[in-house]
């Protein structure tokens, strides 16, 4: 099963979501190349806090969920509000994790907090949405829809896998979970005041023959 998108109709190109995906990829390669390194002597920057990741798996998981849920959420509000939700969610996640860790080095988990904010907001606005996925039906590929809660339930499981496979010392204990909690709370609290174009959820996605 490969998730592709949700079943909400798109009203416009998700420019901010695509730019955020690009920013996360660019920062990943910058970190890998030594341009935005993390460590005791590294100075935290907005990029290293909100866009860097601790592993390639971490990057791929975050970008998958950013694409699946960010596009429709961006459609539901002004683009600057959507970007604000992402940034504030990321800062809230990093801030909560840092506070719980006694204010130690800020870990590279801001993107996880930011995307958790988008997921929390999406769940509140579109609890009955479905995720269009592709999979095998016998010997053929077919499209089918899954309830959105299945993908949302997979999020913490995948983050647990990220936590378990992260390089030693890359993440303080519990930091990833605190980042998710801080971001999700921001999304749940802020999405209704920010969203002014709530979309209708169709019963089924229409697939061209």
Q: Where are the domains of the chain?
A: 10-126+149-194
- Token pair in block for residue 141: 């590929």
Residues 6+ apart with CB under 8 A from 14: 70, 71, 74, 75
How is residue 170 annotated by DSSP?
Answer: S
CATH of domain 10-126+149-194: 1.20.1540.10
Secondary structure (3-state) at 166: coil
The pLDDT value recorded for residue 176 is 82
pLDDT by 10s per residue, the chain, length 209: 678 888 898 888 999 999 999 999 998 888 765 555 454 455 667 777 788 788 888 899 999 999 999 999 999 999 999 999 999 999 998 888 877 764 555 556 788 899 999 999 999 999 999 998 887 666 677 877 888 888 888 888 888 888 888 776 666 677 788 888 999 999 999 999 999 888 888 765 444 43
- The residue among 24, 11, 4, 6 whose CA lies nearest residue 123 is 6
pTM of the model as a whole: 0.86
How is residue 187 annotated by DSSP?
Answer: H
Whether the CB-CB separation of 6 and 65 falls below 8 Å is answered with: no
- Token pair in block for residue 78: 């002004």
- The residue among 186, 153, 8 whose CA lies nearest residue 86 is 186
């Amino acid at each position: 099963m490969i998730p592709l998108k949700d079943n909400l109709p798109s009203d416009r190109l998700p420019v901010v979501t695509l730019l955020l995906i690009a920013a996360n990829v660019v920062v990943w390669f910058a970190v890998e190349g030594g341009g935005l390194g993390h460590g005791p002597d590294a100075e935290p920057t907005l990029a290293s806090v909100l866009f860097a990741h601790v592993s390639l798996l971490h990057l791929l998981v975050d970008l998958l969920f950013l694409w699946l849920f960010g596009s429709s959420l961006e459609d539901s509000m002004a683009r600057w509000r959507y970007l604000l939700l992402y940034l504030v969610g990321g800062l809230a996640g990093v801030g909560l994790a840092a506070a719980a860790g006694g204010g130690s080095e800020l870990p590279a988990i801001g993107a996880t907090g930011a995307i958790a904010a988008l997921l929390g907001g999406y769940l509140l606005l579109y609890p009955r949405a479905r995720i269009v996925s592709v999979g095998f039906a016998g010997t053929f590929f077919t499209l089918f829809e899954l309830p959105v809660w299945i993908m949302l339930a997979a999020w913490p499981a995948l983050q647990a896998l990220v936590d378990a496979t992260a390089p030693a010392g890359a993440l303080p204990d519990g930091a990833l979970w605190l980042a998710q909690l801080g971001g999700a709370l921001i999304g749940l609290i802020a999405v209704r005041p920010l969203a002014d174009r709530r979309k209708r959820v169709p019963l089924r996605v229409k697939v061209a023959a």
